[in-house]
Amino acid sequence: MAHNISYSRRLRRTPFTSGVEAAGVKSFTVYNRMLLPTVFEDIEFDYHHLKSDVQVWDVAVERQVELIGPDASKLMQMLTPRDLSKMQDDQCYYVPIVDDHGKMLNDPVAIKHSDTRWWISIADGDLLFWVKALALGMGLNVSVFEPDVSPLAVQGPKASDLMERVFGNEVHDIRFFRQKRLKFADTTFVVSRSGYSKQGGFEIYVEGSEYGMPLWNALFEAGGDLNVRPGCPNLIERIEGGLLSYGNDMNMENTPLECGLGKFCKFAEGSEFIGKDAIALEASHGPARQIRAISIQGRAIAPPRAAWPLLKDGERVGQVTSAAWSPDFATNVAIGMVDASHWDPGTELTVETSRGPRMARVEEGFWI
């Protein structure tokens, strides 16, 4: 079953889409109403290449919500259970965003520029509306908008080598989840050591769409002998690494504790944020279910298009939301949400795939 997608202004192109198309992209998904490449050669070829060389990813779909003004830091802290009080001006934090019931609205990366300026690098969802409404409702002195900023990721074991050639030696000074402004052409970009893979790398926040293709071209010209290729977040690699996908592995029905993000909800006593009571209550008795690494026995499965029920003796005890064949681990790797009664490592379950039942097992951890 292969269909075409109909393009229009609503389905936004990115500053890099023309480069992605010229490079022979095979398929896209839609994320934040924008095109996100999902396959270049094929998913297994892309996977091996990501783990051995270096790739350039159009992740412009990681849209920014910018907060600017005297109350920017107050607003940012209201949005997340994660304690931001010790965050430095060059840090990035992975932050759960929850509603008043403590349910997940998004799981973005927050980039702090200063006490009066932040970017929230969002996962799939209209977080902008929530942030604008909160600023308005609280009467805060802050403006909230989507700037012309498009992240381009450089991921893989040779990412530092490639980045050094385009941005100079300073790239080596950037530590994990820190950022620094580096020169490109007649401008500067925020460059952070982060990205949606476990292979290491950087994200370049391209400010000004007109710089998109010049940067794309500069990276490919500099990296010919590094075997640089276009790539994209890779389903197999991100499941092995346990990187969650909002809307797939969790959504507004889940809490951060269920998502295994409890370590990002250790707030200070006097802190104020939306969902505090709900988060504190759940922390006191623990979550009812939680994200787990799951292996699925047998030959390669086709990735799920909907949640697959996890069963024990015919009873539903969870679901699998992401799954793929892992060439390196020679098993199907998966991410699931499993009830407390059945979440211990080694528990054997049945997963109801779209092509029938398979044996599944709760693993100790992800494949890293």
Residues 134-153 that bind ligand THG (CB under 6 A): 151
- Residue 98 sits in the site that holds ligand THG (CB under 6 A): no
**Residue showing tokens 């590094």:** 226
Residue 154: name the closest of 137, 140, 171, 178 by CA: 171
Which residue number, 111 or 162, has a Cβ lying nearer to ligand THG? 111
Strand partners, 34: 12, 31
- Residue 366 sits in the site that holds ligand THG (CB under 6 A): no
Of how many residues is the chain composed?
A: 368
Binding test (CB under 6 A) with ligand THG, winner from 19, 96, 195, 230: 195
Binding test (CB under 6 A) with ligand THG, winner from 14, 17, 179, 194: 194
User: With contact defined as beta carbons under 8 Å apart, do 313 and 292 qualify?
Assistant: no
Binding test (CB under 6 A) with ligand THG, winner from 37, 81, 108, 262: 108
- Residue 203 sits in the site that holds ligand THG (CB under 6 A): yes
Q: How far is the CB of 248 from ligand THG (least distance, A)?
A: 11
- Residue 275 sits in the site that holds ligand THG (CB under 6 A): no
Which residue number, 146 or 315, has a Cβ lying nearer to ligand THG? 146
Scanning 46-54, 118-126, 214-222, 299-307 for contacts with ligand THG by CB under 6 A, the matching segment is 118-126
Question: Residues with Cβ < 8 Å from 65, sequence gap 6 or more?
Answer: 108, 119, 120, 122, 127, 128, 131, 144, 145, 146
Q: Phi-psi region for residue 133, left (φ > 0), alpha (ψ -120 to 50) or beta?
A: alpha
Between the CA of residue 242 and those of 152, 294, 333, 350, 363, what are the distances in Å?
Answer: 22, 10, 10, 21, 12
The two most distant CA atoms of the chain are separated, in Å, by: 64
Scanning 119-127, 278-286, 325-333, 347-355 for contacts with ligand THG by CB under 6 A, the matching segment is 119-127
Q: How far is the CB of 368 from ligand THG (least distance, A)?
A: 8
Which residue number, 204 or 228, has a Cβ lying nearer to ligand THG? 204
Angle CA 145–149–153, to nearest 5? 135
Q: How far is the CB of 199 from ligand THG (least distance, A)?
A: 12
* CA atoms 265, 268, 272, 278: torsion sign: positive
Alpha-carbon distance of 122 to 95, in angstroms, equals: 10
Strand partners, 195: none
- Residue 179 sits in the site that holds ligand THG (CB under 6 A): no
Scanning 6-14, 105-113, 274-282, 311-319 for contacts with ligand THG by CB under 6 A, the matching segment is 105-113
- Residue 156 sits in the site that holds ligand THG (CB under 6 A): no
Which residue number, 94 or 184, has a Cβ lying nearer to ligand THG? 94
Half-sphere exposure of 191 (CA within 13 A, CB side): 27
Residue 230: name the closest of 37, 58, 56 by CA: 56
- Residue 177 sits in the site that holds ligand THG (CB under 6 A): yes
Q: How far is the CB of 309 from ligand THG (least distance, A)?
A: 25
- Residue 107 sits in the site that holds ligand THG (CB under 6 A): yes
Residues in contact with ligand THG by the rule CB under 6 A: 62, 94, 107-109, 121-123, 151, 177, 194-196, 203, 243-244
